[in-house]
Structure 1
């Protein structure tokens, strides 16, 4: 597979009938949901779960999201979704990228990008990343 960045955190997916829209392809909103699923799974694998976020009263919230839908996928396609953290200032901001590939022909189906900001959960206001975030997320930045 040709990935945009090295060593993605991956998740294998196969669209089911509930993912298919009236045009008989995977609905674009499903890709957005899958990005949320893999984003959390990657964070948890690195060592930060929702419980950690709540205990620290901090979260990485999506400030801006963009998705490029390049090709359709259909029910039964075997897909691999990859994600990476690609940048962070170690203060407030972090960037996560996504790439969805169809296994059969290695075609790129979708690319996505999230620009994230660290917030204090209790107020919703931007707050500096706690040391725990920096210790876990910064070493995970794709190089």
Structure 2
């Protein structure tokens, strides 16, 4: 996966990906579980791009955990197709309550720009020691919404 990060829009990460043989199921299209894997990869790469790595999370004593996924399969992707994947946090929706954040995903087929998938993940901030939900640290918010 080739990741494209534009520092002027830190709330968004784009990637291009050519569908591989290992992504394909018995019906000759991308297996549903692969989309979830792509969502995870995009989310993690986005966090790294804005400077929120494991060390930062450990130092702050906070981490983000998934509490809900929504996946909408709109069309099939086939082997060797080039896809454009995007993830973002809505700059107008910095958080939901004190401890939650929603991350969005969209996948387009590059050839015709047809949307083949969209979804979102609801994340909650958790205290690493207590394993309980807690307020999002300002560092987790500002990293995505302030340009360098």
Establish whether TM, by shorter chain, passes 0.5. yes
Aligned residue runs from structure 1 range 128-139, under 5 A:
128-137=135-144, 139=145
Structure 1 unaligned residues grouped into runs of 5+:
1-6
Q: CA deviation at 1:14?
A: 1.3
CA shift for structure 1 position 89: 4.0
Q: Which runs of 4+ in 1 moved over 6 A?
A: none
Range that drifts further, 90-99 or 102-111: 90-99
Q: Give the deviation of 1:135 after TM superposition.
A: 2.4
Give matches, 1:106-117, under 5 Å.
106-117=113-124
- 1:96 to 2:114 alignment: no
Distance 2:89 2:131 in 1: 22
Q: TM-score, normalised by structure 1?
A: 0.86
In 2: Cα distance, 1:94 partner to 1:63 partner: 10
Alignment of 1:1-143 (within 5 A): 8-86=12-90, 87=93, 88-89=95-96, 91-137=98-144, 139=145
In structure 2, what is the Cα distance between the partners aligned to 1:100 and 1:19? 15
Tell whether the 8 Å contact from 2:96 to 2:102 is kept in structure 1 after alignment: no
